[in-house]
Amino acid sequence: MKTIINPSKNEWSRLLKRPTQTVENIEDTVNEIFNDVQRIGDKAISKYTKLFDGVALENNEVTSKEIEEAISLVSTELKNAIHTAKSNIEKFHAAQKTQRITVQTTPGITCWQEKRPIQKIGLYIPGGTAPLFSTVLMLAIPAQLSGCKEIVLCSPPNSEGKIAKEILYTAQLCGVTKIIKVGGIQAIAGLTFGTKTIPQVYKIFGPGNQFVTVAKQLATKHGVAIDMPAGPSELLVVADNSAKANYVASDLLSQAEHGADSQVILISTSKQLLYAVEKEIQIQLSELPRKEMTKKAINNSKLIYVESNQIALDMINEYAPEHFIICTNNNDFYIKNIENAGSVFIGNYTPESAGDYASGTNHTLPTNGFSKVYSGVNLDSFTKSITFQKITKEGLLNIGQTIELMAESEGLQAHKNAVSLRLKDLKE
């Protein structure tokens, strides 16, 4: 990791740049695959599954037999852990339910808002170097709580043409209605256009690499919504002498091991802590099974010293981290004033990995600075709000003239007539 001491504000943008490719570098590939899937459907899906995953499949859909086999192969200990995580995630997301909101805006005029589930959703679950069955919990649980009718899960097959047993076990546990063995750009394209084996959906959820992120963005051009731009994982820690260097190092490494394009940053008002963390990272890194990949991410990462909490806060809000850990003598200052972050973890005993798995909050979060404008996945992500209104005779008499005057001023005579005709009848 590179250590930077007191960087000037005009250096922040360069220092905080993400190690991602530009869209232009990969958009051509994404467009080509989308065009193929739109044109020839499952033939294109098979072609790209063989090209990228190295396996030729006779059938994309996971069978009930495969699910039963997966259930039998998952250990009792892991099943219990998954059930514990499921319970906590359900509690937190169920608490987000809202009731119908009803207001009488004027005598005789009642307006209300109700939530309705999105009927068809697609869940993208990365496989690759780490099959993220935890993401199944994070997406399928709120989908089920919201009442979504079709929950289609796509995940890339391994070299044997199978999806990880843990993903299959968790998917059936959380009410997924169809599981498809397809990953990457072709999965997003399949969910966007629909094929004989992959249902078309209304909204796509789930993290992925930069190719998946661009594919999701392209899906929006074809009328399919997405949860958010969610690309390579990232973590920013702010810490001082009250933090434990080995804890901080472990948190940084826990995100760095996601992939070579992940990024982790430590900002501190203590040079002593920076150097202690740097030393501890090397000790812990040497023992990690994914150390070669983690090293690449560490090379993209930084240790930054600043002189005050206010400077640190300003830098953090500019970076807008996906995950934000606070371990300082003044945690309340950061809690109160943080404006841009996907999810916040407070104190020495709140590791980011708790949120990744089992504490209850959702781990599908905006990356690449998008926490400035996007929320992480929550119950509302799987619903839409519909407004209703009912106007009585009294209500129309109370508001009719207001509507007429506004419509006439905008030059929309038919809008005015729709009210005037009714008012005339009421006044006769």
The reported pLDDT for the residue numbered 428 is 78
Q: Provide the phi-psi class of 287: left if phi over 0, else alpha when psi is between -120 and 50, else beta.
A: alpha
200 annotated ligand binder? no
* Cα gap 4→9, rounded to integer Å: 13
Residue 388 main-chain phi, psi, to 5 deg: -130, 155
233 annotated ligand binder? yes
* Cα gap 155→128, rounded to integer Å: 9
* Cα gap 102→111, rounded to integer Å: 6
**Lookup result for tokens 């072709």:** 186
Residue 62 burial (10 A CB sphere; 0-12, 13-18, 19+): buried
- Reduced to 3 states (helix: H, G, I; strand: E, B; else coil), residue 42 is helix
363 annotated ligand binder? no
User: What is the Cβ-side half-sphere exposure of residue 28, based on CA atoms within 13 angstroms?
Assistant: 2
Parallel/antiparallel/unpaired status of strands 109-117 and 101-106? antiparallel
β-partners of residue 323 are: 235, 343
Residue 361 main-chain phi, psi, to 5 deg: -75, 165
* Cα gap 31→25, rounded to integer Å: 12
CA-wise closest residue to 40 among 196, 220, 204, 212? 196
The reported pLDDT for the residue numbered 86 is 98
- The CB density around residue 126, as the number of other CB atoms within 10 Å, is 21
CA-wise closest residue to 259 among 324, 209, 321, 322? 209
The reported pLDDT for the residue numbered 21 is 56
pLDDT tens track, the chain, 428 positions: 889 999 999 999 999 998 765 566 789 999 999 999 999 999 999 999 999 999 999 899 999 999 999 999 999 999 999 999 999 999 999 999 999 999 999 999 999 999 999 999 999 998 866 788 999 999 999 999 999 999 999 999 998 999 999 999 999 999 999 999 999 999 999 999 999 999 999 999 998 888 998 999 999 999 999 999 777 789 999 999 999 999 999 999 999 998 788 899 999 999 999 999 999 999 999 899 888 888 888 888 899 999 999 999 999 999 999 999 999 999 999 999 999 999 999 999 999 999 999 999 999 999 989 999 999 999 999 999 999 999 999 999 999 999 999 999 999 999 999 999 999 999 87
Q: Is the pTM of this model over 0.85?
A: yes
The reported pLDDT for the residue numbered 296 is 86
SS3 content of the chain, % helix, strand, coil (to 5): 50, 15, 35
What are the catalytic residues? 322-323
CA-angle at 255, arms to 251 and 256, nearest 5°: 110
Residue 110 main-chain phi, psi, to 5 deg: -115, 125
Residue 267 main-chain phi, psi, to 5 deg: -115, 130
93 annotated ligand binder? no
For residue 232 the two structure tokens come to 């390579």
The reported pLDDT for the residue numbered 26 is 86
The rounded Cα 366 to chain-centroid distance in angstroms is 6
Q: What is the DSSP string of 197-235?
A: SS---SEEE----HHHHHHHHHHGGGT-EES----S-EE
Give me the domains of the chain, ranges plus CATH numbers.
23-227 (3.40.50.1980), 232-375 (3.40.50.1980), 392-427 (1.20.5.1300)
